[in-house]
Structure formats: structure tokens, C-alpha cells
Chains A and B, each alone.
Chain A
Amino acid sequence: GAGVSQSPSNKVTEKGKDVELRCDPISGHTALYWYRQSLGQGLEFLIYFQGNSAPDKSGLPSDRFSAERTGGSVSTLTIQRTQQEDSAVYLCASSILQSPSSPLHFGNGTRLTVT
């Protein structure tokens, strides 16, 4: 079946512009995560959606970052007034959460470059 799909795969934007990154999780997966991976760095937690619960936004680095998940499926991560330090790969993952060991399924990521 289809995996987690992210678009665009690459995005180059000018400093100060807004960008939207999209994630289509695996159908039926109730949990959706956004992580940021800077070059050669680890996976930085950004935000987590679980079913109909309020999202855990504790990892968002600033108020320029926001995310929503419509209808419990597709999610959009928005970065306003982009800065050069926002350049990174943004990874989305989803999980079925029916058991404690339900693995995260990652998308291929969106590589964001802010010039």
C-alpha cells in the first residue's frame, strides 16, 4: 500500500517568504508527527497530532511555525517569514497507534532551502 507522502520534495524560497509543507499519512493512521532534521543532525520534534485530541505543539521553535491536520488525515506545516536557519529536511511520520509498539512510518521529507 501507499506510504507516507510528502510534498514538495524540495522547496527553495527567499528569506521572508511563507511556505507550506504537506503530509499525506498512511490511511487509517491516527497519529501524525512532524520532525525537523538539519544537515547531519538529529530528528527534532516539532508537533504531534493524535486522533481528535489537541495537538502537542511543544516542539515548535517559534510562533512563525504552525501546523494543522484537516479531517484527521492530511497535515500542513506552515512556516511564516522564513529565515535561513529554517533550512532543513522536514519529515512527517504517521502511526496506527493500536499497540505500544506501532512503528512510525516516515515520509521522504521536504528539503527546505531558504536563500
Chain B
Amino acid sequence: GENVEQHPSTLSVQEGDSAVIKCTYSDSASNYFPWYKQELGKRPQLIIDIRSNVGEKKDQRIAVTLNKTAKHFSLHITETQPEDSAVYFCAAADSSYKLIFGSGTRLLVRP
């Protein structure tokens, strides 16, 4: 089955700097890669996603890139703000839509 690895486990950046979180997946049949944000004490929520026929997707300060050949994808947050502090999860799914999540990255944005 699918296995998703995520790095780093923790990331601390200065406000205004960029943050990058990387994930790799094992199942070449996976074709959908969402990212979820979980604020402290709250439920995970979808922030951006990408499908395997697209190499990059951007939404304001957030972008995701996908390298299908290497089976890795990354989340990029630019001009980080304190409210970006949260745990971020990547995930991968094949055509069955079963989502397998990475282990999470705790992002801390220092004001």
C-alpha cells in the first residue's frame, strides 16, 4: 500500500521568510496530493491540492509542486505570518480516494 514520508517534522522560521515542507510517496498509482493544516486543538482543513497531471499550483502565498517521476511533492509558503503556525500534513491518494497522510510538520513562525 501507499506510504507517505514527510520532512521536516518541525520547522521554525522568522516572520516574512519562506517555509518549505517536502513529502515523498511510494505508490506510482497515486494521483491526488492534498495538503491539510491543523491549528492547535482544531480539526485538519484542506489548504491546497494538486493532481498528477499538474506540476505546480499556486494560491496566494501558498504553492505546491509535484515531481511525479521522483514521486515527491512540496508545499511552499512565502511571506510567512504568525497565523501560519500550525501542523501541516501532506497526503496521497490513488483512484480509490483512500488518503494516506504523512506524519506532519509543526511550523512555527516567529514574530
Asked whether, in the complex, the Cβ of B99 is within 8 Å of the Cβ of A104, the reply is yes
Q: Which of B1, B42, B51, B89 contacts A43 (CB 8 A)?
A: B89
Nearest chain A residue, comparing its CB with the CB of B53:
A100
Asked whether, in the complex, the Cβ of A58 is within 8 Å of the Cβ of B1, the reply is yes
Asked whether, in the complex, the Cβ of A56 is within 8 Å of the Cβ of B96, the reply is yes
Q: Which of B32, B43, B91, B102 contacts A106 (CB 8 A)?
A: B43
The A-B contact count (CB < 8 A) is 56
Main SS of the interface on chain A? loop
Asked whether, in the complex, the Cβ of A31 is within 8 Å of the Cβ of B43, the reply is no
**Chain A neighbourhood of B104, CB < 8 A:** 41-43
**Chain A neighbourhood of B89, CB < 8 A:** 42-43
Shortest B48–chain A CB gap in Å is: 10
Mark A29-66 against chain B: 1 for CB-CB distance below 8 A, else 0.
00101010000011111001010000010100000000
A43-B89, A100-B51 given; A109·B43 CB < 8 A: yes
In the complex, A101 has a CB within 8 A of chain B:
yes
Mark B82-97 against chain A: 1 for CB-CB distance below 8 A, else 0.
0000000101000011
Asked whether, in the complex, the Cβ of A41 is within 8 Å of the Cβ of B43, the reply is no
Distance in angstroms between the alpha carbons of A31 and B96 in the assembled complex: 10
Nearest chain B residue, comparing its CB with the CB of A106:
B43
In the complex, A28 has a CB within 8 A of chain B:
no
In the complex, A73 has a CB within 8 A of chain B:
no
A50-B96, A56-B96, A101-B32 given; A42·B101 CB < 8 A: yes
Mark B residues whose CB is within 8 Å of A. Answer: 1, 6, 31-32, 34, 36, 42-46, 49, 51, 89, 91, 96-104
> What 9 additional pairs, Cβ within 8 angstroms, besides A45-B99, A101-B34, A108-B43?
A42-B101, A42-B103, A44-B101, A45-B101, A56-B98, A101-B32, A104-B36, A106-B45, A109-B43
